[in-house]
Structure 1
Amino acid sequence: MSDDNRTLPYPEPDAEHPTLVIPGDGTADDAGTDGGIASARRRRRWPWVVLVIVVVLAALVVAAEFVARAVLPGVVRSIVIEQLDLPGDQQLEVDAGGILLPQLIAGRLDSLHLSTDAVTLEGITGAVDVTATGVPLRGGDLTSASGTIRIDEDQFTSLLSTTDLPVDTVTLDEPNATVSGSITVLGLAVPISLTLTPGAIEGDLELTPVSLSVGGVEIDAAQVGSNLGAIGADLTRPQRICIADQLPAGLTLTGLEIDGSVAVIDIDVDGAIVTDESLLEKGTCPAA
């Protein structure tokens, strides 16, 4: 080869002739770099995906809870009205305690609160407030239930109508009840007024005398026996009255007090009242 056609050396790279790098030439190094970037992006994205899923699930749970709370009161109200044979337009407030969804899944409500301003049960009309616990949704007895019945003077008078007390009218004035009527002494009707403090003992109504007036004149309890004999002695001793025959058999009187001008009756409810229809009928009192 002649010197005229000799091969010239490749010029050294310098600032005027930089070496160009062609991107994405398909080499293993490029693939590894792109894969690493994609993996990093996926790692940054997955917590947000999980967060969105959690938020959606939480929203669904909240929505389901709202639906359950909207539907359950109507269902319970219908069952209570049917079981107690109440009017279709009976006012009844229903409230379930706690978060409902787990309770509905388990088939038992932790607590259920029922209240009404006026309802008639076996002839007694009053405002009822009852809380039941362990309420089965698939049949069975309640774990427990208790509440109060608030009655006015007329209804309280009805409770005493079967007693030996001279009851024409009853006036309630916290903490006492004053019974007014008349007794017969030597063939004459003598008006009396007996003030008593009501309470409860072993399921019965207890009336403890506070004062007694005869013909509008208040007399000392110690003198009643000498003036009115056996009748007076009966009036001034504590009265124990069974009222079980005026309440459903599944209800037991546990307390009674006067609140303002109404009588507040505390009751205990037999848990089997939801399965045993006989407990919805009037109870009985022992024979005298």
Structure 2
Amino acid sequence: MTGLPEAQPVLRRSSGRRAALVIVIVVVVIAVIGLVLWLADGLIRGMAQDGVEDALESKLPGNVTADLEVTIDGGLFLPQLIAGTFDNVTVTSDDAEVDGIPFDIIVTAHGVPLDENDTIDETTAVVTGGEDAANALLVLGGADPHLSLGDGTLSYNQSASFLGFTIGYALVTEPQAQGDSVSLAPVDVTVLTDLGNLDVTSFVSNLLGEEPVTVCVASSLPEGISVDGIDVSPETLTVTLSATDMPRNGPDLSSRGSCDAQ
């Protein structure tokens, strides 16, 4: 007995299309959610940065003026906010003044906690100023001569007594950072005298010796701040400072370190 073959079921394409449509919708929804979260992250980050700027400026001492710009880096803001620690926070100002002395500053803080009672892991600051800033930071003893900037050098005038005469000399030094102090190693001496051809350079050199002049800077900086680097050009002095385990609210700007051990 013969007959027609049994009919085979035909797969409907509509089910495959529906599955593809569902996948597309899911992908679009995820993309939209990601975009919304990214926009929200940026919005909240901006609000937080503005809030930090206002808070910092309100805590500046009366003799300090600055328009601060705060940037919170380290990836997405919300995960850092939830974790309670920001990876990197940068504070900059290119129009700051202390007692009328202008300077620029860039402060970078790593591991900044939300808890006001906690401490910041590591903080680095780069401060740039002119001769006035150099003289405010590096206060020499005695008559406190005025420092002049050079190509990698700092120079100043001093005087000494020789055979009953007062001999003036200009000393050129190379500065080097040493934590709570800066050493000024003499590299050249120019004698300033009205004694004709009398050569007193050796006298001045013996007076100075080979040891550098050490200038304590702790009394010019908030307590706990270390000087890690110092670079000089004819126009600017750039000082690199650092601190570890600084209070989250920042150092007490009205406090100063001690030079008693110097």
| TM-score, normalised with respect to structure 2 | 0.80
SS in 2 for 1:214: strand
When the two chains are superposed, the root-mean-square deviation of aligned CA atoms in Å is 3.3
Unaligned runs of 5+ in 2: 1-8, 195-199
Deviations 1:209-268 (A, max 9, x none): 001111169xxxxx656x359xx5236531112110011113111221213421111111
- TM-aligned CA deviation for residue 173 of structure 1: 1.2
Shift in CA distance, 263/117, structure 1 to aligned 2, threshold 3 Å: same
SS in 2 for 1:169: coil
How many residue pairs were aligned? 249
2:225 to 245, 251, 255: 251
Is 1:233 the counterpart of 2:207? The answer is yes
2:114 to 112, 137, 144: 137
- 1:179-258 to 2 correspondence within 5 Å? 179-185=156-162, 188-215=165-192, 224=201, 227-228=203-204, 233-234=207-208, 237-258=211-232
Shift in CA distance, 88/182, structure 1 to aligned 2, threshold 3 Å: closer
Fraction of identical pairs, as percent:
23
- C-alpha contact 2:135 2:147 (8 A) present in aligned 1: yes
Is 1:264 the counterpart of 2:223? The answer is no
| TM-score, normalised with respect to structure 1 | 0.73
Unaligned runs of 5+ in 1: 1-31, 218-222
Distance in 2 separating the partners of 1:270 and 1:86: 26
Between 1:190-199 and 1:62-71, the stretch displaced more is: 62-71
- C-alpha contact 1:253 1:266 (8 A) present in aligned 2: yes
The amino acid across from 1:212 in the alignment is V
Using CA pairs below 8 Å that are at least 6 residues apart, which structure has the higher relative contact order? 2
Distance in 1 separating the partners of 2:220 and 2:184: 17
Question: Between Structure 1 and Structure 2, which shows a larger proportion of helix residues?
Answer: 1
1:148 aligns to what? 126
- TM-aligned CA deviation for residue 85 of structure 1: 3.3
Distance in 1 separating the partners of 2:190 and 2:20: 90
Is 1:114 the counterpart of 2:88? The answer is no
- 1:29-178 to 2 correspondence within 5 Å? 39-85=15-61, 90-99=66-75, 100-120=77-97, 125-139=102-116, 140-164=118-142, 167-178=144-155
Distance in 1 separating the partners of 2:214 and 2:46: 46
- TM-aligned CA deviation for residue 68 of structure 1: 2.5
2:3 aligns to what? none
Deviations 1:4-35 (A, max 9, x none): xxxxxxxxxxxxxxxxxxxxxxxxxxxx99x9
Distance in 1 separating the partners of 2:211 and 2:161: 19
1:6 aligns to what? none
- TM-aligned CA deviation for residue 200 of structure 1: 1.4
Larger Rg: 1
